[in-house]
Amino acid sequence: MTLVVENVSVRVGGRDLVSEVSLEVAEGEVLGLAGPNGAGKSTLLRTLYRARRPTSGRVLLDGRDVWRQPAGWLARRLAAVLQESGGDFELTVYDVVAMGRTPHKRAFDGDNHEDKAIIADALARLDVAGLAYAPFDRLSGGEKQRVLIARALAQRPATMVLDEPTNHLDLRHQLDALELVRGLGVTAVIALHDLNLAAAFCDRVCVMDGGRVVAVGPPAEVLTPALLAEVYRVQAEVTVHPETGVPQLSLRTGGRP
């Protein structure tokens, strides 16, 4: 599914958190969203999964304005993986992943065999099947993150929005999670702090700063020392990996440009 962001602005309390952002994500494309803290990445993502209505502008999924569709319409097509927010209720991992089936269900519908198979499959793919009946709140940060990705899989979406999905993950699980999303073939927008991961896994990278898009394009074109100096105020060297051809960043510590 194609995702189009059209002149989206989000104004809160007189401050522009996102101003006039336009983006196009093609069918099956993985777009990385990068930028310093407070750049507006999470706010922009919120307008995509219907958690914050844009002050102006439109978000189109396959040509339809997501904010003009019924709430369930989007959830059957787009899944979001958000930062974990704990609760005081003893939900099991299975309960959390089973929530992913909700958009496909009407009132009083039970989980049929297909639902159960989809839930079991999502648990297995994220390597959390053994934790199925463990209390979600007592998992480690990385385990929770994987469970939330599993919940998004259980939604069977054609588009995914992920906000820092690799935040709490160890190196192995970081690669596994991003490879999994790539392997699904879905259209995806992923906010990532780790620019090396963004370079390795994203077709294009969008760099935001101060609520605006500073640069969009293939990683090798966007992640340049000049841009990193301007946006992140760091001195970085960019080399190209001899085997994979992926641009790699190494930071120089200490001095500021």
Give the interface with other proteins as residue ranges (CB under 8 A). Answer: 46, 49-51, 71-76, 79-80, 82, 85, 87-92, 94-96, 98-100, 102-103, 105, 107-108, 110, 113, 116-118, 120-121, 123-125, 129-134, 153, 155-158, 161, 184-186
Is residue 31 helix, strand or coil?
strand
Distance CA 147, CA 113 (A): 21
The two tokens of residue 30 are 């993985």
To other proteins, the closest distance from the beta carbon of 193 in angstroms equals 19
Q: Which two tokens stand for residue 168?
A: 């709490």
CB of 242 to other proteins, least distance (A): 34
The H or E element spanning position 116 is helix 113-125
CB of 66 to other proteins, least distance (A): 11
CB-wise, 37 or 85, nearer to other proteins? 85
User: 250: Cβ–Cβ under 8 A, 6 or more apart, which residues?
Assistant: 236, 237, 239
Which lies closer to other proteins via its Cβ, residue 124 or residue 240?
124
Nearest approach, Cβ of residue 224 and other proteins (Å): 34
Distance in Å, CB of 73 to other proteins, minimum: 8
Nearer to other proteins, 40 or 100 (CB): 100
Q: Kindly list the distances between the CA atom of residue 152 and the CA atoms of 103, 193, 215, 226, 254, in Å, as whole numbers in the listed order.
A: 11, 21, 29, 36, 40
Is the CB of 133 or the CB of 171 nearer to other proteins? Answer: 133
Distance CA 122, CA 108 (A): 23
Q: Which is nearer to other proteins, 7 or 112 (CB)?
A: 112
Report yes or no: 159 and 5 within 8 Å, Cβ to Cβ: no
